[in-house]
C-alpha cells in the first residue's frame, strides 16, 4: 500500500513525502481508510507504531474540506494523558499540516500560563491538543467553543484511565456535539477500555495491529541480575561508559530518585538531567529540547514524564528500577529503537522483580535471558530462577559460585540516602571544579557510599579507577 492510494489531500501527501515516509505503517494502512470513511474507530497501537499519523493524517484531510458550521472553535480535539505526548502530537500536526491553509493547531497543557492559553483560545483554532484537566478548567470558564467540533481523538486512552482522567474525558466528550466522529487509541482494548468505548464511540470499527509478541523486534532486551544497590550502581557505571551508547533514558521508580540519580551522574561528569512530573513545564520543555539536540546524553526519568518521548538518538533504555506493570515495561523500552533504528533495553533486576519478570515475558511473549558482565557477575541469584531450592545446581545465569541459589540481599528502603539537591542539574555538564590534587569530590564519595561503587572493570576486563573530577567519563561516540 502507498500513501497515494489512501486518497489523502495532496498537501498532506507532500508533507508526508518531506518526512521521508515511503509507505504507511500497518496501523496507518488499516486505520486511515476507516477514518476517511467516517467511522468511529478503536485501535490498539502503541507509540512507535506510527499511531499519531494514523489519526492525524485523516484529521488533517477533514480540515482540507470546508467547516460544516460557523465559528472559530476547534474542529478536531485530541486528548492526551501527558504534556509530553501532547507536545509530540502538536509537532506532528504542524509537520503534516504545514502546507495546509486551515490547520492551526493549539495545545492547552497544564503547567503553562493561563493568559497565553486564553489568547490562543480566543483566536481561530482548527486542531486543539489538550490534557484533560487544563481543558476542563478552560471549559468551566467558558473559553472553549465546541460548536463546530467534528472529531474527538482519545490518545493513549488506557493511560488516561490509569491516571484517573476518565471522568474528565467523559465530561469533555459530553460537551462536544453528538455528531462527532470519535477515535480511541489504547495499548489494550479489553475490559474497562471496551466499556469506555461503548460509552463514547458509535458503532466503532476495530483495528488491532501486530500482537505484543511481534512488537519491539528492533529492540534488543537484556537483563542483569543485581545483588544490591551497590552492584546496580557498578553495572550502571559500566553501561554508561559504552561508546555505543549515544543517548539513554534511565527509569527510576520515583521522582526523587530521578533527581538524585541525575544529580549524581551529572556530578560524575555525565551530561545528565532529570525529567519528572514535579518539574515546571518550562524546565521539562528545556530538558527535552536539550535531549533532542544531543546536549543531554543521560535522561533520568519517571514513567509518566518519559511517556511519548520520541527522540531518534535514544540508543539505550535502562530500567534502574523496574516498572510495576508489564505494560509500562513495553512503553519504556519503546523509547528506543524508534522509526527504523535499533535499540538496546537493559533492565537491572533484583530478587523482588521475579514475578514481574514472568509477567513481562508472558505479556511480550518473549523470555529475556540474563546477561553477565565479566567482573560484575551477581553473587546471588533469584530463587524463582533456580532449578530447585538448595539443589546446588547452577542455573546458567552467571552464578558460578557452585553454591545453592539464594535470595538477593535486600535493598535499603530508601534507595538514596540524602535529600535532593535544590540547585538544578538539568543541563549539560557544568564545570564541577575539578580537584587539582585528584581527590574525589563529595559527590563521588556520596556515589561510592550509596552504590558501594568499586572501580568497575572496563570492557577489556581490566580494573579502572573510579571517575573523579579530573578524570571524566569517555565521551566519544556521541554528540
Ligand atoms: P508514533 O507511533 O506516532 O509515536 O510514531 C513513531 C515514529 O514513527 C515517529 O518518529 C514518526 O515520525 C515515525 N513514523 C510515522 N509514520 C511513519 C511511516 N509511515 N514511515 C516511517 N516512519 C513513520
pLDDT score recorded for residue 339: 62
Whether 459 and 328 map to the same domain: the answer is yes
Whether 186 and 46 map to the same domain: the answer is yes
The answer, yes or no, to whether any atom of ligand 1 lies below 6 A from the CB of 48, is yes
Q: Given the CA of residue 310, which atom of ligand 1 is nearest to it?
A: 10
Whether 270 and 185 map to the same domain: the answer is no
Domain end, chosen from 159, 180, 208, is at: 208
What Rg, from alpha-carbon coordinates, does the chain have?
24
Classify residue 26: in a domain, yes or no. yes
Domain end, chosen from 176, 208, 240, is at: 208
Give me the torsion for CA of 251, 254, 257, 259, rounded to 10°. 90
Q: Given the CA of residue 308, which atom of ligand 1 is nearest to it?
A: 4
Q: Given the CA of residue 338, which atom of ligand 1 is nearest to it?
A: 7
Distance 460 CA to ligand 1 centre (A): 38
pLDDT score recorded for residue 381: 59
Whether 82 and 170 map to the same domain: the answer is yes
Classify residue 213: in a domain, yes or no. no
Classify residue 440: in a domain, yes or no. yes
Classify residue 214: in a domain, yes or no. no
Do residues 132 and 172 touch, judged by C-beta distance below 8 A?
Answer: yes
Whether 162 and 248 map to the same domain: the answer is no
Distance 28 CA to ligand 1 centre (A): 10
Q: What does the block give as the cell for 267? A: 556530578
Whether 82 and 123 map to the same domain: the answer is yes
H and E: helices and strands count for the chain: 16, 13
Classify residue 298: in a domain, yes or no. yes
Distance 162 CA to ligand 1 centre (A): 25
Domain end, chosen from 208, 227, 259, is at: 208
Classify residue 119: in a domain, yes or no. yes
Q: How do residues 83-94 score in pLDDT, each as one tens digit?
A: 989 999 999 999
Q: What does the block give as the cell for 226? A: 543485581
Q: What does the block give as the cell for 465? A: 579507577
Element holding 44 (H helix, E strand): strand 41-44
- The C-alpha cell 485523516 sits at 58
Distance CA 363, CA 376 (A): 29
For the chain, which residues score pLDDT lower than 50? Answer: 211-213, 382-479
The answer, yes or no, to whether any atom of ligand 1 lies below 6 A from the CB of 159, is no
Whether 124 and 273 map to the same domain: the answer is no
For 18, the 3-state DSSP assignment is helix
Q: What does the block give as the cell for 425? A: 542539574
Domain residue limits at 93:
4-208
Distance of CA 385 to CAs 103, 292, 325, Å?
A: 55, 39, 20
Whether 288 and 195 map to the same domain: the answer is no
Q: Given the CA of residue 92, which atom of ligand 1 is nearest to it?
A: 12
- Ligand 1 mutation pick, 4, 16, 29, 50, max ligand atoms within 8 A of CB: 50
The answer, yes or no, to whether any atom of ligand 1 lies below 6 A from the CB of 218, is no
Distance CA 244, CA 217 (A): 19
pLDDT score recorded for residue 259: 95
Distance of CA 460 to CAs 87, 230, 233, 375, 477, Å?
A: 43, 21, 19, 10, 18
Q: What does the block give as the cell for 172? A: 469533555
Q: How do residues 340-373 score in pLDDT, each as one tens digit?
A: 678 899 999 987 888 889 888 877 777 888 899 9
pLDDT score recorded for residue 312: 83
For residue 147, the number of C-alpha atoms closer than 13 Å in the C-beta half-sphere is: 8
Q: What number of residues does the chain have?
A: 479
Classify residue 130: in a domain, yes or no. yes
Whether 371 and 294 map to the same domain: the answer is yes
Whether 137 and 232 map to the same domain: the answer is no
314-319 and 247-251 as β-strands: parallel, antiparallel, unpaired? parallel
Whether 113 and 257 map to the same domain: the answer is no
pLDDT score recorded for residue 210: 59
* Those residues with Cβ within 8 angstroms of residue 229's Cβ, 6 or more apart along the chain or in another chain: 411, 412, 415, 450, 451, 452
CATH number for position 157: 3.40.50.300
Classify residue 125: in a domain, yes or no. yes
The DSSP annotation for 269-324 comes to: T--EEEE-TTS-HHHHHHHHHHHHHTS-SEEEE-HHHHTT---TTEEEEEESS--S
Q: Could you give the number of structural domains in the chain?
A: 2
Whether 27 and 176 map to the same domain: the answer is yes
Amino acid at each position: 500500500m502507498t500513501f497515494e492510494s489512501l486518497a489523502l489531500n495532496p498537501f498532506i501527501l507532500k508533507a508526508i513525502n518531506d518526512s521521508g515516509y515511503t509507505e504507511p505503517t500497518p496501523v496507518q494502512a488499516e486505520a486511515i481508510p476507516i477514518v476517511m470513511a467516517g467511522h468511529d474507530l478503536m485501535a490498539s497501537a502503541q507509540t512507535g507504531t506510527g499511531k499519531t499519523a494514523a489519526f492525524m493524517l485523516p484529521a488533517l484531510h477533514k480540515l482540507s474540506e470546508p467547516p460544516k458550521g460557523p465559528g472559530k472553535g476547534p474542529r478536531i480535539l485530541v486528548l492526551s494523558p501527558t504534556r509530553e505526548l501532547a507536545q509530540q502530537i502538536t509537532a506532528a500536526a504542524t509537520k503534516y499540516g504545514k502546507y495546509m491553509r486551515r490547520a492551526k493547531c493549539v495545545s492547552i497543557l497544564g503547567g503553562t500560563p493561563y493568559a497565553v492559553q486564553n489568547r490562543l483560545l480566543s483566536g481561530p483554532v482548527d486542531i486543539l491538543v489538550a490534557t484533560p484537566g487544563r481543558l476542563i478548567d478552560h471549559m468551566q470558564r467558558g473559553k472553549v467553543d465546541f460548536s463546530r467540533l467534528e472529531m474527538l481523538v482519545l490518545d493513549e486512552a488506557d493511560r488516561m484511565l490509569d491516571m484517573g482522567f476518565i471522568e474528565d474525558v467523559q465530561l469533555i466528550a459530553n460537551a462536544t456535539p453528538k455528531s462527532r466522529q470519535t477515535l480511541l487509541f489504547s495499548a489494550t482494548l479489553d475490559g474497562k477500555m471496551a466499556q469506555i468505548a461503548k460509552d463514547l464511540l458509535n458503532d466503532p470499527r476495530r483495528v488491532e495491529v501486530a500482537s505484543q509478541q511481534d512488537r519491539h523486534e528492533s529492540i534488543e532486551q537484556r537483563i542483569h541480575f543485581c545483588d544490591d544497590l551497590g552492584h546496580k550502581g557498578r553495572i550502571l557505571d559500566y553501561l554508561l561508559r559504552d561508546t555505543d551508547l549515544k543517548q539513554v533514558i534511565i527509569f527510576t521508580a520515583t521522582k526523587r530518585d530521578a533527581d538524585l540519580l541525575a544529580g549524581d551522574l551529572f556530578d560524575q561528569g555525565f551530561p545528565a538531567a532529570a525529567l519528572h512530573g514535579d518539574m515546571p513545564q518550562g524546565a521539562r520543555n528545556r530538558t527535552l529540547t536539550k535531549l533532542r539536540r544531543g546536549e543531554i546524553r543521560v535522561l533520568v526519568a519517571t514513567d509518566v514524564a518519559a511517556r511519548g518521548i520520541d527522540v531518534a538518538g535514544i540508543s539505550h533504555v535502562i530500567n534502574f528500577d523496574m516498572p510495576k506493570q508489564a505494560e509500562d515495561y513495553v512503553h519504556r523500552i519503546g523509547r528506543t529503537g524508534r522509526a527504523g533504528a535499533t535499540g538496546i533495553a537493559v533492565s537491572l533486576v533484583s530478587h523482588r522483580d521475579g514475578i514481574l519478570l514472568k509477567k513481562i515475558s508472558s505479556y511480550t511473549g518473549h523470555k529475556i535471558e540474563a546477561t553477565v558482565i565479566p567482573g560484575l557477575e551477581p553473587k546471588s541469584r533469584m530463587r524463582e530462577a533456580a532449578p530447585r531450592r538448595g539443589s546446588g545446581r547452577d542455573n546458567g545465569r552467571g552464578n558460578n559460585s557452585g553454591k545453592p541459589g539464594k535470595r538477593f540481599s535486600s535493598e535499603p528502603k530508601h534507595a538514596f540516602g540524602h535529600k535532593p539537591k535544590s540547585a538544578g542539574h538539568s543541563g549539560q555538564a557544568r564545570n564541577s571544579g575539578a580537584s587539582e590534587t585528584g581527590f574525589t569530590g563529595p559527590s563521588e564519595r556520596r556515589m561510592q557510599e550509596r552504590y558501594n561503587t568499586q572501580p568497575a572493570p572496563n570492557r577489556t576486563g581490566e580494573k579502572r579507577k573510579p571517575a573523579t573530577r579530573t578524570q571524566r567519563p569517555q565521551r566519544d561516540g556521541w554528540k
